Chain A
């Protein structure tokens, strides 16, 4: 028998290794859904759970940290709380048959470590008691498709979950005049990220806008379908002209009038991601965006037809950190060739090249803009020349791919996706013939052959 003892790793290091293995297993099942994902995750963790008592205890904790919710409902009632103590994430997708038994099974449980709660599509007939889930440790809350929930529920959530950082709600016109919603926003002092889904396109009232804009901690606001009107922002600025809305925001996704862009964005100097739906085209929106030099993602969608001048685009030339740029018009009607469009006005090769060369880090460019002329000359070539990291290029209009021919090196070496509105038919033959393992254009070969003949003829003469 050997006298050498096997090396012993400190427990902390062993557990760190186990956490890393669990993370790897989570990544391995990320493309799967629901019970299939969890079953596979359990299979991957099982060998680690069987190592020893310590690994079993920690491994089971990891397994039940983010369980497939119905799996907890299937545990025997007397042992269910033991597992509920470990749960950190619960998703109640009540449109699914296998989730419908969960609320009743969890009615007498508590989830002391719960950090994430999602309730989706609770039917009006279901009496869902939220008290078992109202843990003070919750930081992320999503409630969607539950319009029958009473507004006073927000008071309970704000009281029981003081650590909320990330909230996603349905937002309806009724919420605007709702004191409960305003109180909720004011009480959740740690709120960093708010997403408001809206199906009725309701406006964001001045009260709600004031509560959100003045919040120093707010980093992300996603309300792409709730309109911010000029009246709302004007009311706020009249109340306090020194107001600096969204001054610490990193991500904004808003639907706004064009004249609202300046007052909403003038203080948002740390924005990294900005998505705007502009409902009219009466005022310049590029000027106010130009100074936001931290922007890495900019997406502007116009709801109305607009003529886009190159001088407008030049206003955002200073955004040299941009990695993703999307400018698009309203979606065309499928049966109308000449529906509302975003039309390029006075774009030339020189002006376009000067503008696009401002973005050397661009990885995604989507310009759903059409030209007044029948085609542009060489904008795709200029993009390739200026943006070597580009992996996605989407452009409307007609394009002359033949212009790429002038480059001896691949113009778009990193490109993975290319979408163009239409190709300009190349007027010359572009068939290739092989000569000495190198492909030459057929026209080029004809010229060479012709020259050779002339030379032979000359030598005979």
Chain B
């Protein structure tokens, strides 16, 4: 979910995502779709935090 959120934060207009063919890629792509759908339904903004 964390990687999907990072992608969503840094590429807010993204329409197509493909990040590999392994299990991690499938999980990230699925999480990204869920995140995007939730974001579109609720219109929640996500702020980007600097790492420390």
Q: Which residue on chain B has the smallest CB distance to residue A411?
A: B10
A423 at the interface (CB under 8 A from B): yes
Contact at A405–B6, with CB atoms within 8 Å?
yes
Q: What residues on B are CB-neighbors of A150 within 8 Å?
A: none
Query: With contacts A417-B16, A422-B25, A423-B19 known, is A431 near B11, CB below 8 A?
Result: no
Contact at B15–A416, with CB atoms within 8 Å?
yes
CB distance from A425 to the nearest CB of B (A): 6
Q: Bound state CA distance, A409 and B50, in angstroms?
A: 9
B2 at the interface (CB under 8 A from A): yes
Contact at B46–A439, with CB atoms within 8 Å?
yes
Contact at B50–A422, with CB atoms within 8 Å?
no
Contact at B52–A404, with CB atoms within 8 Å?
no
Contact at A418–B7, with CB atoms within 8 Å?
yes
Q: What residues on B are CB-neighbors of A438 within 8 Å?
A: 47, 49
A339 at the interface (CB under 8 A from B): no
The interface on chain A, measured as residues whose beta carbon lies within 8 A of the other chain's beta carbons, has a size of 36
**Which of A402, A411, A412, A423: most chain B CB closer than 10 A?**
A423
The interface on chain B, measured as residues whose beta carbon lies within 8 A of the other chain's beta carbons, has a size of 30
Q: What residues on A are CB-neighbors of B20 within 8 Å?
A: 420-423
A123 at the interface (CB under 8 A from B): no
Q: Bound state CA distance, A88 and B5, in angstroms?
A: 53
Contact at A432–B24, with CB atoms within 8 Å?
no
Q: What residues on A are CB-neighbors of B5 within 8 Å?
A: 430, 432, 439
Q: Bound state CA distance, A410 and B19, in angstroms?
A: 19
Q: What residues on A are CB-neighbors of B10 within 8 Å?
A: 384, 404, 407, 410-412
A408 at the interface (CB under 8 A from B): yes
Contact at B13–A414, with CB atoms within 8 Å?
yes
Contact at B2–A423, with CB atoms within 8 Å?
no
Cβ-defined partner of A401 (8 Å) among B6, B12, B13, B18? B6
Q: What residues on B are CB-neighbors of A441 within 8 Å?
A: 2, 49, 51
Q: What residues on B are CB-neighbors of A410 within 8 Å?
A: 9-12, 48
Q: Bound state CA distance, A412 and B11, in angstroms?
A: 5
- Which positions 1-47 of chain B face chain A at CB distance < 8 Å? 1-3, 5-7, 9-22, 24-25, 28, 46-47
Q: What residues on A are CB-neighbors of B13 within 8 Å?
A: 413-416
Query: With contacts A405-B6, A423-B20 known, is A418 near B52, CB below 8 A?
Result: no
Contact at A413–B12, with CB atoms within 8 Å?
yes
Contact at B1–A440, with CB atoms within 8 Å?
no
Q: Bound state CA distance, A416 and B12, in angstroms?
A: 9
Contact at A432–B2, with CB atoms within 8 Å?
yes
Query: With contacts A413-B12, A418-B14, A422-B22 known, is A430 near B48, CB below 8 A?
Result: no
Contact at A418–B49, with CB atoms within 8 Å?
no
Contact at A423–B11, with CB atoms within 8 Å?
no
Q: Which residue on chain B has the smallest CB distance to residue A392?
A: B16
Contact at A430–B1, with CB atoms within 8 Å?
yes
A177 at the interface (CB under 8 A from B): no
Cβ-defined partner of A423 (8 Å) among B28, B49, B51? B28
Contact at B17–A418, with CB atoms within 8 Å?
yes
Q: Bound state CA distance, A425 and B3, in angstroms?
A: 9
Contact at A444–B52, with CB atoms within 8 Å?
yes
CB distance from B20 to the nearest CB of A (A): 4
Q: Bound state CA distance, A163 and B52, in angstroms?
A: 68
**Which of A411, A414, A439, A447: most chain B CB closer than 10 A?**
A439
Q: Bound state CA distance, A388 and B3, in angstroms?
A: 21
Cβ-defined partner of B11 (8 Å) among A399, A418, A419, A440? A418
Query: With contacts A440-B49, A447-B52 known, is A418 near B16, CB below 8 A?
Result: yes
Contact at A416–B19, with CB atoms within 8 Å?
no
Contact at A425–B24, with CB atoms within 8 Å?
yes
Q: Which residue on chain B has the smallest CB distance to residue A439?
A: B46
Contact at A431–B2, with CB atoms within 8 Å?
yes
Q: Bound state CA distance, A402 and B9, in angstroms?
A: 12
Q: What residues on A are CB-neighbors of B1 within 8 Å?
A: 430-432
Contact at A417–B50, with CB atoms within 8 Å?
no
Q: Bound state CA distance, A412 and B19, in angstroms?
A: 16
Closest 9 CB pairs of A and B: A430-B2, A422-B20, A415-B11, A412-B11, A411-B10, A417-B16, A419-B18, A405-B51, A420-B19
| B interface residues with partner A (beta carbon < 8 Å) | 1-3, 5-7, 9-22, 24-25, 28, 46-52
The 29 listed contacts between A and B (C-beta, < 8 Å) are: A384-B10, A402-B3, A404-B6, A405-B50, A406-B50, A407-B48, A407-B50, A409-B48, A410-B9, A410-B11, A410-B48, A412-B10, A414-B13, A416-B13, A416-B14, A418-B7, A418-B17, A419-B16, A420-B19, A423-B3, A423-B24, A423-B28, A425-B24, A426-B3, A429-B2, A441-B2, A441-B49, A444-B51, A447-B52
